[in-house]
Amino acid sequence: MSITSARGVAFASAVAVIALASQAQAQQNNNPLPPGDGRDIVSVACSQCHYLGTIAKIRDGAAGWRVYVSNMVLRGAQLTPAEVDKVVNYLATNLGPGINLPPPRPVALPDGSGKQLVETRCALCHDLERVAAVKRKKQDWTPIVANMAAWGAPVTADEAKTITNYLAANFGD
Amino acid sequence: MKQLIKDYLDQGLSRRQLVSGLSAFGMSTVAAKAVAQNLAPLGPGAGQAASPPQAPSAVREIEGNGGKLFVEQLKSAGVEYIFFNPSTGDHPIFDALVDLPEIKIIKGIQEGAVTAMADGYARASGRTGIVVVANIGLPNAMTQMVNTFKDQIPMLVAVASVGQNELGRDQWQEVDHHELMTEPITKWFWQAQSTEAMAETTRRALKFASTPPCGPVFLSLPTNTLEQHAKTQVWERSKFDVPMRIRPDKEDVEKAARMLIEAKNPLLSVGDEITWCRGEKELIELAELLGAPVAGEAGSLGYWSKPFPTRHPLYIGTVLRTMRFPGKPDVLLNLGNRWGENASPGTKLISIRLDPTSLAREAPVDLAMVADLKLAMADLSAAIRSMATASLLKDIANKRAERARAYAAQMQQEREAIAHALTDSTPISMERLGLELEKNLDRDTCYVADVDSGKTMDPLMAFGGGDKQYFGTGPNVLGWGMAAGFGVKLARPDVPVVSVVGDGSFLFSGPQPLWSMARYKAPVTVIVLNNHSYNNERNRIWNGAGRQFEAARDMTCYNGSPDVDFAKTAEAFGVEGETVKEPASLAGAFSRAKAAMVEGRPYLLDIHIKREGLGAVSDWYPPYSIADLRTRKV
């Protein structure tokens, strides 16, 4: 359930790649972002340096999106604090957990307590292929799940514990 | 253009043809004639005329083998250091150096490190880096020559090659015409033809390397030309130096000045050529005269210096294709920025460049000038002052600067607020480290950066003006930073030098630069940003939202497993170091590093840094095991 592997700022580093600018422009002309208040700022400010398509494929809560956007400001995005708030609100509203997700690839998870939670909560933000990507020790799964909950995954503390135990049991190292 | 100049010097072109050819490359007639004038002493006919009388100290007759003639010419040119690794064939060079203490030799233990040391020395000193490496190790040197070439840094790379009588016999370490390998990444390459021509060939190489736009040159020195004896002249640098400090055309400067005065929303885009021309002071003066916002480097690639103070109230950060602030400029003045010719339709673009070959190369330019940036900016400021009263200019500047100052101050506060909110994480966040570096590094520190994702720290630190001086590479061919830090320290022994490298960079260069730091007691602090990953590389790849992104399979960029202990590696090379995993440990670690530098020792900090971005949490990699392939336990 490496939601944080889908998090972060892929587009961050792309700031460096000037050659992407013309492609970003082309993509802006075919804007993949859903309509909503703030879309114009995202389209203009973010497309200076990177594709918009990746944004459209990520789902995250407000806290998670703020991490992305803050990192972008450090990398040169021209967004004032008020605009950062507006951008985060747009992203969390229109690309939040479970909103307009593309059809997932079928992934058969092993049975066990927590399977349903993983299928219904984790898959709100990312494909379940990510869950099965790597085996980890329980002490490594714990902060990953906690981090996702902090960033916006809709899970209670008990549910997070159940998910962690399920992952450690079935995808443990 | 280098081919054009080569043809001229090889007597295939007349002076008129040279001027015409340079003009075709976009150089003004004035500039082209200046180049031709400067090349004349070495051009067609130069050797046929009787040499004018010279002061004895300027032109000396030297007798000796080719190695001696090579180093005597270097000495006369003012060369202080040769960066080298040993090979059998170049022994005449080092034999001669036994009795020539004016030139010191700096040993590296791999050609890439040797080249990067010379590169760092050249960037920090403004002088030509001299490299003599093993013939067969030339491809190692070439990896770092890419940085040197792309950033137009002067360097002479020489190898002792197979003797002329052995050429073409498929000798053990011979490859046919190996000098051709260097063609795409040198201004000029040559194989010495005779011992008699050794000094002249060396002069020519030095001149090409240091004539702006500068760059690396390559000399192949067949062993017989190094071993045989001859008598020839060596010249002082002043007799063959080509300063190329070209003033821009006066009428063009006046046009530009008028456009900038009348502009409603001008923007300055600035780049490395200003740094190389030592034009920082003139840039500040011009920007303040105009009250125009200044935008610098774009992202993490494509620049090696920060020519404008990053805490100046007019500095607005990265130059972007479309600037939300200050909005679309009506006049964009590009000053020495290779990536700055970036105007949208409707923007008038003035571009002043030292390098005519990349001027107007990708975008239409309304007013192009080839000039030394320092002189051009001084002329431009003078022209602006001559066209309007001081009070009118002040009014214009104040009006423009008000918005820029407000924006720059707001963004600075915002960035610091973001960073302060991320200071307590473990592994240590890049933001926390940036704040700590800003707090702990001395203001006159030379900051040598060979990182990619680590550049998110830059906006949290002050560079330029009276603050830290920034050194990096435009192409970011990793493996440069530690060795370059050594070279910077050699050039600037009296200021602190910090070399900041990613774990990726360290692994590219290997620990070899530490060997030279230990041997020569180079007090450099090496900071390894260890996130066990080519972090930005992964981000760029996953940004394409392909299968690696979908399936969270980082096929290429995870560097952990094994987790290299860089502090232990340093210890093995005689450099003290420590691992830092907690943010609270940073201040103490910096203090110990500073104490080591005061004592004249290098010190390494292996700082465990949080990975960022897409796939940051992933420590998966394709799990192959050669041990599992075995059918016998052998």
pLDDT tens-place string over residues B522-537: 999 999 999 999 998 9
Say whether pLDDT at A10 is over 50: no
Chain B closest-CA separation from residue A13 CA (Å): 5
Same domain, A88 and A124: no
Please indicate whether, in this complex, the C-beta atoms of B460 and A18 are within 8 angstroms of each other.
no
Same domain, B536 and B449: yes
Same domain, A12 and A89: yes
Angstrom distance (rounded) from CA B223 to CA B368: 47
Same domain, A121 and A47: no
Domain with B405, as residue range(s), is: 250-412
Note whether residue B624 is domain-resident. Answer: no
In sign, the C-alpha dihedral spanning B58, B61, B62, B67 is positive
| B315-318 and B294-296 beta bridge pairing | parallel
For B545, the closest chain A residue by CA position comes to: A54
Note whether residue A100 is domain-resident. Answer: no
The total number of structural domains in chain A stands at: 2
Note whether residue B297 is domain-resident. Answer: yes
Same domain, A14 and A76: yes
Note whether residue A18 is domain-resident. Answer: yes
Report whether A125 contacts A153 (CB < 8 A).
Answer: yes
Note whether residue A28 is domain-resident. Answer: yes
Note whether residue B9 is domain-resident. Answer: yes
Same domain, A156 and A124: yes
Same domain, B123 and B166: yes
Q: What is the pLDDT of residue A50?
A: 82
Say whether pLDDT at B191 is over 90: yes
Please indicate whether, in this complex, the C-beta atoms of A4 and B417 are within 8 angstroms of each other.
no
Q: What is the pLDDT of residue A150?
A: 84
Same domain, A19 and A83: yes
Cβ of B569 under 8 Å from any chain A Cβ? no
Token pair belonging to B120: 């760092």
Sheet holding B367-370, edge to edge: B315-318, B294-296, B266-270, B331-335, B348-353, B367-370
Mapping DSSP onto H, E and C, the string for B245-312 reads CCCCCHHHHHHHHHHHHHCCCEEEEECHHHHHCCCHHHHHHHHHHHCCCEEECCCCCCCCCCCCCCCC
User: What tens digit of pLDDT does each residue of B562-585 get?
Assistant: 999 999 999 999 999 999 999 999
The backbone region for B570, taken as left when phi is positive above 0, alpha when psi lies in -120 to 50, beta otherwise, is alpha
User: What tens digit of pLDDT does each residue of A124-150 get?
Assistant: 888 888 888 778 888 889 988 988 888
Chain B closest-CA separation from residue A164 CA (Å): 15
How far CA A12 is from CA of A83, B3, B557, B614, in Å, comes to 18, 40, 16, 9
Same domain, B374 and B466: no
Please indicate whether, in this complex, the C-beta atoms of B551 and A127 are within 8 angstroms of each other.
yes
| CATH number, domain with residue B384 | 3.40.50.1220
Same domain, A119 and A81: no
Note whether residue A104 is domain-resident. Answer: no
Say whether pLDDT at B45 is over 70: no
Read off φ and ψ for residue B333, nearest 5 degrees. Answer: -100, 110
Q: What is the pLDDT of residue B425?
A: 87
User: What tens digit of pLDDT does each residue of B114-140 get?
Assistant: 999 999 999 999 999 999 999 999 999
Q: Tell me which residue in A8, A12, A74 faces B415 most closely, judged by beta carbons.
A: A74
Angstrom distance (rounded) from CA B150 to CA B152: 5
Considering only CB atoms, which chain B residues are within 8 Å of A6?
Answer: 549, 552, 614-615
Same domain, B26 and B132: no
Same domain, A10 and A85: yes
Same domain, B510 and B397: no
Domain with A142, as residue range(s), is: 115-170
Same domain, B35 and B68: no
Q: Which residue has the higher pLDDT, B595 or B617?
A: B595
Note whether residue B437 is domain-resident. Answer: yes
Please indicate whether, in this complex, the C-beta atoms of A10 and B459 are within 8 angstroms of each other.
no
Please indicate whether, in this complex, the C-beta atoms of B612 and A50 are within 8 angstroms of each other.
no
Q: Domain boundary residue among B190, B214, B239?
A: B239
Angstrom distance (rounded) from CA B71 to CA B53: 24
Same domain, B441 and B513: yes
Question: What's the average model confidence in pLDDT over A102-108?
Answer: 80
User: What tens digit of pLDDT does each residue of B479-503 get?
Assistant: 999 999 999 999 999 999 999 999 9
Same domain, B144 and B266: no
Question: What's the average model confidence in pLDDT over B184-211?
Answer: 97
Note whether residue A108 is domain-resident. Answer: no
Please indicate whether, in this complex, the C-beta atoms of B411 and A80 are within 8 angstroms of each other.
yes
Q: Domain boundary residue among B239, B259, B292?
A: B239
Same domain, B312 and B427: no
For B341, the closest chain A residue by CA position comes to: A18
Please indicate whether, in this complex, the C-beta atoms of B614 and A6 are within 8 angstroms of each other.
yes
Note whether residue A44 is domain-resident. Answer: yes
Same domain, A122 and A85: no
Chain B closest-CA separation from residue A30 CA (Å): 16
In chain A, DSSP finds a helix count (H) and a strand count (E) of: 10, 0
Same domain, A127 and A72: no
Note whether residue A105 is domain-resident. Answer: no
Q: Tell me which residue in A9, A16, A147 faces B613 most closely, judged by beta carbons.
A: A9
- List, in order, residues 6 or more apart from B577 with CB less than 8 Å away: B526, B566, B567, B568, B570, B571, B603, B604, B605, B606
Q: Domain boundary residue among B354, B380, B412?
A: B412
Chain A closest-CA separation from residue B75 CA (Å): 41
Chain B closest-CA separation from residue A82 CA (Å): 10
Cβ of B592 under 8 Å from any chain A Cβ? no
Token pair belonging to B578: 């420590």
Note whether residue B199 is domain-resident. Answer: yes
Note whether residue B620 is domain-resident. Answer: no
Q: Which residue has the higher pLDDT, A59 or A11?
A: A59
Vertex B109: Cα angle to B203 and B119 (nearest 5): 45
Same domain, B438 and B524: yes
Q: What is the pLDDT of residue B31?
A: 59
Please indicate whether, in this complex, the C-beta atoms of B613 and A71 are within 8 angstroms of each other.
yes
How far CA B176 is from CA of A90, B278, B334, in Å, comes to 62, 41, 43
Say whether pLDDT at A6 is over 50: no
Q: Tell me which residue in B299, B414, B539 faces A9 most closely, judged by beta carbons.
A: B539
Same domain, A19 and A74: yes
Same domain, B13 and B84: no
Residues 497-536 of B with CB under 8 A from A: 535-536
Neighbour-count burial for A20-32, b at 16+ CB within 10 Å, e otherwise: bbeebeebbeebe
Same domain, B184 and B266: no
For A7, the closest chain B residue by CA position comes to: B614
Note whether residue B51 is domain-resident. Answer: no
Which range of B31-35, B425-429, B479-483 scores highest in mean pLDDT? It is B479-483
| CATH number, domain with residue A139 | 1.10.760.10
The total number of structural domains in chain B stands at: 4
Say what percent of chain B tops pLDDT 90. 78
Q: Which residue has the higher pLDDT, B330 or B33?
A: B330
Please indicate whether, in this complex, the C-beta atoms of A17 and B321 are within 8 angstroms of each other.
no
Same domain, A51 and A130: no
Please indicate whether, in this complex, the C-beta atoms of A76 and B536 are within 8 angstroms of each other.
no
Note whether residue A133 is domain-resident. Answer: yes
Note whether residue B65 is domain-resident. Answer: yes
